[in-house]
Amino acid sequence: MELNRYLDLSPEVTEALENGRPVVALESTIISHGMPYPQNVETALHVEEIIRENGAVPATCCVIGGRLKAGCTAEQIEYLGRTGAGVAKASRRDLATLVARGLDGATTVTTTMIIAHMAGIRVFATGGIGGVHRGAETTMDISADLEELAQTPVMVVCAGAKSILDLGLTLEYLETRGVPVLGYGTEELPAFYTRRSGFKVDYRVDSPEELARIFRTSAELGFRGGILVTNPIPEEYSMDPDVINKAIDDAVAEADALGIRGKATTPFLLAKIKDLTGGDSLDSNIRLVYNNAALAAKTAVCLANG
């Protein structure tokens, strides 16, 4: 496989891909912009441990010194976590400029999918994807994650779209762009902090083996887009819908009052919701990421085993 000249693979990821071993991509915006230090670094390193425990190799993605990375060192993860929002939040529109200027960037769902596909990594675990923001009918605030899912053949395992979004419109957008939304063990779209949203997924799937089979079949049919797997947060960590929804409503109202827009919106809302819930939302966020990492690793193993 001829790699993009701007892409670096860690030795562990290189060895795994060359030998057909399972690899799971991980984003880095969750480290720099999604959680406070030092929980962000602790969480990122533990997610990598979970992936290894389930038989796969982790590939945390980022941009360091203008180089696209698939597989970070512990020191690089520490740097991303400690620097936090001082690292650029890199979406598709940012990659060429960051690379050309030799800068650093934390990868979103979008850019992690791009790097994973460049590297030949087929499965990616994250917390929640971006989507259609509330009020998008006037602001046109729609995450690039949805477009990337429509054009890049990577399976994304998440706990649904972040519940700060308009979940109904997010599903409509994904349907329009031909992205299958699979519910792992559920027929209902998970809502990130909670297990239920009131919206139906396209299909329920009950095993990593079937997830792998669907992804393999999609590739064999020649479909170019990705597949979204929505994996509900474990019941014991699911938040009370009334509590979390009030916190979200209050956070969205404050963001509107402050005029916060674009890529600053999600980090602001997640931090505000953490404060409003006394840290409970952060605990739930961490647990759902662990849950997604385990499922992604199991699915990558099934894919590698053919």
Of 27, 48, 78, 148, the catalytic one is 27
Question: 162 CB contacts (<8 Å, ≥6 apart)?
Answer: 127, 128, 129, 130, 131, 192, 266, 270
Cross-strand pairs, 194: 191
- With left for phi above 0 and alpha for psi between -120 and 50, is residue 67 left, alpha or beta? beta
CA–CA separation, 11 vs 19, rounded Å? 12
Of 48, 89, 148, 162, the catalytic one is 162
Evaluate whether 162 touches 266 at the Cβ level (below 8 Å): yes
| Helix ranges (DSSP H) in 54-135 | 74-83, 92-101, 109-119
Residue whose tokens read 């997010």: 170
CA–CA separation, 270 vs 190, rounded Å? 17
Evaluate whether 191 touches 163 at the Cβ level (below 8 Å): yes
> Coil, strand or helix: which one is 131?
coil
Annotated active-site residue 27? The verdict is yes
Q: Which of 301, 282, 304 shows the shortest CA–CA distance to 293?
A: 301
Annotated active-site residue 69? The verdict is no
Active site residues: 27, 162
